[in-house]
Amino acid sequence: MEQVEQLGQQVIAVVPGPAVGGGVRAEDCVPRLRTRLLVLQPTPFCNMACSYCYLPARDKRSRMPLATVRQAARRLADDGLAGDALTVVWHAGEPLVLPPGYYAAAFEAIAAALPGVAVTHAMQTNATLISDAWCRFFVQHGVAVGVSVDGPPALHDACRRTRRGGGTSARVQAGLARLRAPDVPLVPPVTPLPLRGVRIYIESHQNELTLWDPLGDQIRRKWDEVCRLMAPGQKPPLSLRARALPVDRLDAHPPLDDADGVVLLWGRKTSEALVAQINKVENKMTPGRDAAPGIVAYLMPPQQSAEPVPAWGWQVLRFNAATEDAIDVVSEEADQLERFLKKIFRRRQQLDAAAGTPRPPPAAMPACACRASPTRGCAPSSTSSRRCCSGVRARCSKS
């Protein structure tokens, strides 16, 4: 696991692997692991021959199959490593030696494999192949572009040369000029970013170890109905993500500040044990009126009650649990579950409004004459006031 600084935030880069012993997943880790940055190398080929290049296969014109792109995204989802947002950096070689159509298909494949995840794409390029068609593609897809520049022509051309030994500074400047052309909008149209998935934590207790997942599926179906009612036509919809909450290990769990809702299970435990768990969960949540709403799922069987169950500060809803795959709230209390989800929806709307979403795409970064790593950003330089194109980032690196 490598920690890097990317796009102004700390990123944990994780290479997903098979579960250890068939039972360890990202959900079981504390803190929970979420991949924020995925670097893909679509081709090793580069049209330049920089003296400091470290890639051994930059003469090969192979390309990453779309099936591999799709599988990489699916592994994040299947291994529980997909979070609410993901940045995919296309880094090679020179990514622009492949046509825009390749990336359009790749973007679609990743989006299909990661529904509900806000995916942002970025490319690191030497800028010598930038064309009007590429500019339109960047704007259309909101791609952030890092441009590799070593500085003024004399400095840049000393190392960043063509395969025939010529300098490349003039071609880089021509590429940047295309990015600034009048027919390329300086700022892409402001579009709402996909909102992060709503998180509902559902207890995963040793006595009801597997119930949280099918219960989450049922609540998610109710959530979709609430979204259609509360925000008809919202695209993309506000997706719900169920998360396992191991209450028996809650003392080692990080605070539940990211919870939008919590569901505790009342199955085999006593009422006294339930109250103790409510207290433990509340101690992990943000205190006061901003606390995420919570309910208790009264499971029948093993519990059984023909009448509504009294609450201990939390609302108790009865769920038919005779068939695990068909677990659902009793019909008499379906409106109460809907009211619980509406509370979550309104609270989430307020939090997103306070955070300023929807928001415009990332602003352009200044060009720079240093040779910083693409994952560390650029150091200040004499050219740091220069800006490039429409939502496109100009940043130096050895690419």
pLDDT, tens digit, for every residue of 91-111?
888 999 999 999 999 999 998
Is domain 198-355 in CATH 2.60.40, yes or no? no
- Higher-confidence residue of 299 and 184: namely 299
Determine the average pLDDT of the residues in 382-392.
34
Tell me the longest C-alpha to C-alpha distance in the chain.
84
| pLDDT for position 147 | 86
Determine the average pLDDT of the residues in 36-47.
91
| pLDDT for position 229 | 81
| pLDDT for position 196 | 57
CATH code of the domain made up of 2-179: 3.20.20.70
Q: What is the pLDDT of residues 303-336, one digit of tens each?
A: 777 777 776 678 888 888 888 777 888 888 888 9
So where are the chain's domains? 2-179, 198-355
Q: What is the pLDDT of residues 59-71, one digit of tens each?
A: 888 999 999 999 9
| pLDDT for position 368 | 35
| pLDDT for position 233 | 61
Beta carbons of 87 and 122 less than 8 angstroms apart: yes
| pLDDT for position 69 | 94
- Higher-confidence residue of 33 and 113: namely 113
Beta carbons of 165 and 143 less than 8 angstroms apart: no
Determine the average pLDDT of the residues in 381-396.
34
Q: What is the pLDDT of residues 276-302, one digit of tens each?
A: 888 888 888 877 667 888 898 888 888
